[in-house]
Structure 1
Amino acid sequence: MAPFDSVTARLILLLAETGSIGRAAEREGIASSAVSRRVSDLEARLGVVLFDRSAQGVRLTPAGEAYAEGCRTVLRSIADLDALMAEFGSGQRGSLRLACTSSALTGRLPELLARYAQKFPGIEIAIAEMGAAKALLALDEGRGDVAIVSDNYDFNRFEIRPFEDERVWVLVPPDHPLAQAIEPRKALSFDAVVPHAMVGVHHAGSLDRLLSEAAVKLGHPMVETLRVESFPALVRMVEAGFGIGFLRSTSLHLLAGTDLVCAPLSEPWAMRQLLVARRKSSPQSAATRSFIALCAETYAPSA
């Protein structure tokens, strides 16, 4: 069976409508002989007569009626498919696969995604929470379209844009010696806090790497009493008196209901960014373009 020919199918329907090879040819802007040849070739291939021909024109045979109805069905399906692909191309349909850190999910990302979902209800959103290194690996391996990660990684292979500014804060119990040095709205230097025992979080995570590198530069490695794997657990352990802790500003809401005191670190390196990243060489769907555009539209740099 030869492939379905949509041009010939449209001619069949036009002949059925006009009843005239000449009028059909005129409507299509082609020669009458070309119309006749297409119909004859199709009838020969199918082994049936599609039209009764007479001096008055052409009329569908019963086989022709069945074939014409099939042409209408196929052409409708093609039109529906074109419309569906147009929705995907415009970003009204499709999928968005996000690989993001817990810092992103505790910041403005949930509200932004809610806005995105309201604007593009046909986009299916899939979120995978993971460390920054794994999120970038997910982009490399094609398991994610966009990653939202901290800025202290190698981004040579990626196209990046700022997503959210965040500062590193130190948190301590109210009876800790450092609590007396913390003043409202006043930053604290890292060298004043690094001698104190701390609760670590996410070994080899972006915050862990950032603090460890800063401590090495000071020549004063940090002392950990224990290590946890989540920021809520870190807050609880600091509350219990196991040491000081560090959070990004996007996670400060976790302190609600506690009596912990906190202060931002004063060093320039403590002001970081979450970035929106995508692999430069990967094709960018309309859904991805729409999400990145919304991120840029709603990004507000810190003063």
Structure 2
Amino acid sequence: MEHFIVSMKCSKVPWGDDMAPFDSVTARLILLLAETGSIGRAAEREGIASSAVSRRVSDLESRLGVVLFDRSAHGVRLTTAGEAYAEGCRIVLRAIADLDVVMAEFGSGQRGSLRLACTSSALTGRLPELLARYAARNDGIDLDIQEMSAAKALLALDEGRADIAIVSDNYDFTRFEIKAFEDDRVWVLAPPDHPLATRIEPRKDIGFLDVIDYPIVGIHQAGSLDRLLAEAARKAGRQLTETVRVESFPALVRMVEAGFGVGFLRSTSLHLLAGTDLVCAPLGESWALRQLLVARRKSTPLSAAMKSFIALCSETYSPSS
């Protein structure tokens, strides 16, 4: 708790001596509103009425004497004061979550929980089998698996909504402890009648610059693979030409099958090509070989459930040759 106390002395906290006690429900709503930009979506996520959300925020603003959100027909957006208050909420909620972990360690150790935030790439790779093995070893541990983008998974760690994240390696991990989980190369796929098919079919390495000028099926705007490809194109002085953009790897495979362009897929998702006539090959550039990482906040207490999961990840990790 020392880190929390120092932070609280240095930061403006979301209540004072003359104000009501800290309300964790309202704090979560503030963070949900900041994330979604919508009262309706925040209310749906929290399972309460939109009117109740509006009332809580209005009451809080009245007590604080500041406006936390700018309202418009398009939704809500944090003001400068709102950003400061939201950061205070993150500090307190994270400290509460950390305290819960510490208190749980005083129990028998026979029961517990593990909240895992992971990307779709992790779930289409070896993670499901590893989770089955973990569950068999730890039948008293409740697993909460949350699929989300890498950026949101790391945010969930920051806000105390997840214990461990499994994400791609192209993010800032300064405040996280990380370990390798799975090696993951980027592959290109195309229909058998595509001009690239004769070069792709032998499943030998192909250069990114040999592919980039063809129409492309995009994936996950601002997702880790999208960011990786966009950065590679920028460094090459080229631009990706996307005919369509999809939000899942199965959808990407279907759109490539339909002839909308070539696609890029992680090796952890190559099993999605089973039953198709698509051809594929790995990109030969060094940047195309990535890793999925197991991440946790350095400042978060390490529970027994977290320790055993991280140990199993390390025990079963097999580097690519």
User: Do both share a fold (TM > 0.5)?
Assistant: yes
Counterpart CA distance in 1 for 2:236 and 2:198 is 23
Check if 1:286 corresponds to 2:304.
yes
Counterpart CA distance in 1 for 2:239 and 2:203 is 27
Instruction: State the match for 1:226 in structure 2.
Output: 244
Considering only aligned residues, what root-mean-square deviation do their CA atoms show, in Å?
A: 1.5
Letter in 2 for 1:190: F
Letter in 1 for 2:108: E
SS at match of 1:156: coil
Instruction: State the match for 1:242 in structure 2.
Output: 260
Q: Aligned-pair distance for 1:85?
A: 4.5
Instruction: State the match for 1:87 in structure 2.
Output: 108
Counterpart CA distance in 1 for 2:163 and 2:114 is 6
Q: Aligned-pair distance for 1:98?
A: 0.2
Q: After TM superposition, list the pairs within 5 Å mapping 1:266-277 onto structure 2.
A: 266-277=284-295
Deviations 1:22-49 (A, max 9, x none): xxxxxxxxxxxxxxxxxxxxxxxxxxxx
Size of the aligned set, in residue pairs, is 219
Letter in 2 for 1:111: E
Check if 1:172 corresponds to 2:193.
no
SS at match of 2:108: helix
Instruction: State the match for 1:129 in structure 2.
Output: 147
Instruction: State the match for 2:128 in structure 1.
Output: 110
Counterpart CA distance in 1 for 2:150 and 2:245 is 18
* Contact residue 191 and residue 277 of structure 2 kept, 8 A: yes
Deviations 1:103-122 (A, max 9, x none): 00000000000000000000
* Contact residue 201 and residue 279 of structure 2 kept, 8 A: no
Equivalent of 2:173, from 155, 160, 165?
155
Counterpart CA distance in 2 for 1:205 and 1:123 is 30
Q: Aligned-pair distance for 1:87?
A: 3.2
Letter in 1 for 2:245: R
Letter in 1 for 2:276: T
Deviations 1:237-276 (A, max 9, x none): 0000000000000000111100000000000000000000
Equivalent of 2:138, from 120, 127, 130?
120
Equivalent of 1:260, from 259, 267, 278?
278
Deviations 1:75-98 (A, max 9, x none): xxxxxxxxx95532xxx4200000
Counterpart CA distance in 1 for 2:281 and 2:203 is 7
Q: Give identity over the alignment, percent.
A: 75
Counterpart CA distance in 2 for 1:260 and 1:87 is 53
Q: Aligned-pair distance for 1:180?
A: 1.2
Instruction: State the match for 1:96 in structure 2.
Output: 114
Instruction: State the match for 2:206 in structure 1.
Output: 188
Deviations 1:134-192 (A, max 9, x none): 00000000000000000000000100000000100000000000001114241000000
Larger Rg: 1
Counterpart CA distance in 2 for 1:185 and 1:271 is 16
Instruction: State the match for 1:296 in structure 2.
Output: 314
Check if 1:198 corresponds to 2:216.
yes
Letter in 2 for 1:225: T
TM-score (normalizing by structure 1) = 0.71
Counterpart CA distance in 2 for 1:119 and 1:85 is 21
Letter in 2 for 1:157: R
Counterpart CA distance in 2 for 1:210 and 1:168 is 10
SS at match of 2:238: coil
Counterpart CA distance in 2 for 1:87 and 1:262 is 51
Q: Unmatched 5+ residue regions in structure 1? A: 1-83
Instruction: State the match for 2:163 in structure 1.
Output: 145
Letter in 2 for 1:184: P
Letter in 2 for 1:154: D
Counterpart CA distance in 2 for 1:268 and 1:246 is 15
Instruction: State the match for 2:49 in structure 1.
Output: none
Counterpart CA distance in 1 for 2:296 and 2:202 is 39
Letter in 2 for 1:231: F
